[in-house]
């Protein structure tokens, strides 16, 4: 599931960045959401996989603090990006003629920057304090299932829900994959020709 999450979100980022037709606010926010999901899952899942393999739940204090910090950072970023996607959808539906004026590249970049800054100053202190001070009242099994659903399953499904069902994203991904495949075939074809010429 972790590999599917990383691979699926990475495909979205590559598709958006490689296709000029997808340089719009909607896809800009989608690629940022994909990046946040990759970072979000990479904060906890690799350590969890190591714990499963070693049958050890130990973590050093500095590692715990770092993990909590980045977990809260990317969780908050996810929430804000979903919020701004809702606003972007509202502008598309309610003010279609003003869409390009309202959702200009400067505003989109500013919104993402503000969310990153707020993904440090506002939520970090309160969330960190609540995390450390809370006592675990749930059973170990139900807590584990809830954690996996929240940290693995949701980010894994996001590319399918928000992007891969989209026709433009499918076309961009197909174009990207075909171009890469053709370049590779062309490279190996030329290389084979050079080798055969040298043998002759």
Question: What's the pLDDT score for residue 196?
Answer: 45
Tell me the C-alpha distance between 102 and 24, whole Å. Answer: 12
Q: Are 170 and 164 in contact (CB under 8 A)?
A: yes
- Statement: 2-166 belongs to CATH 1.20.1070.10: yes
**pLDDT, mean over the chain:** 75
pTM beyond 0.75, yes or no: no
Q: What is the pLDDT of residues 154-188, one digit of tens each?
A: 677 767 666 655 677 777 777 777 777 777 766 66
């Amino acid at each position: 599931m972790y590999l599917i999450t990383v691979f699926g979100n990475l495909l979205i980022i590559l598709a958006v960045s490689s296709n000029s037709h997808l340089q719009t606010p909607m896809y800009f926010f989608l690629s940022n959401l994909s990046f946040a999901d990759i970072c979000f899952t990479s904060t906890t899942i690799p350590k969890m996989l190591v714990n499963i393999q070693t049958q050890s739940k130990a973590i050093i204090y500095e590692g715990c603090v770092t993990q909590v910090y980045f977990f809260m950072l990317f969780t908050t970023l996810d929430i804000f990006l979903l919020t701004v996607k809702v606003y972007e959808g509202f502008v598309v539906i309610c003010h279609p003629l003003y869409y390009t004026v309202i959702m200009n590249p400067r505003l989109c970049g500013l919104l993402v920057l503000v969310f990153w800054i707020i993904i440090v100053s506002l939520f970090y202190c309160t969330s960190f304090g609540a995390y450390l001070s809370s006592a675990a009242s749930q059973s170990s099994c139900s807590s584990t299932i809830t954690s996996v659903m929240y940290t693995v399953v949701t980010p894994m499904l996001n590319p399918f829900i928000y992007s891969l069902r989209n026709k433009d994203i499918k076309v961009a991904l197909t174009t990207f994959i075909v171009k890469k495949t053709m370049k590779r075939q062309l490279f190996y074809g030329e290389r084979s020709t050079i080798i055969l010429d040298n043998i002759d």
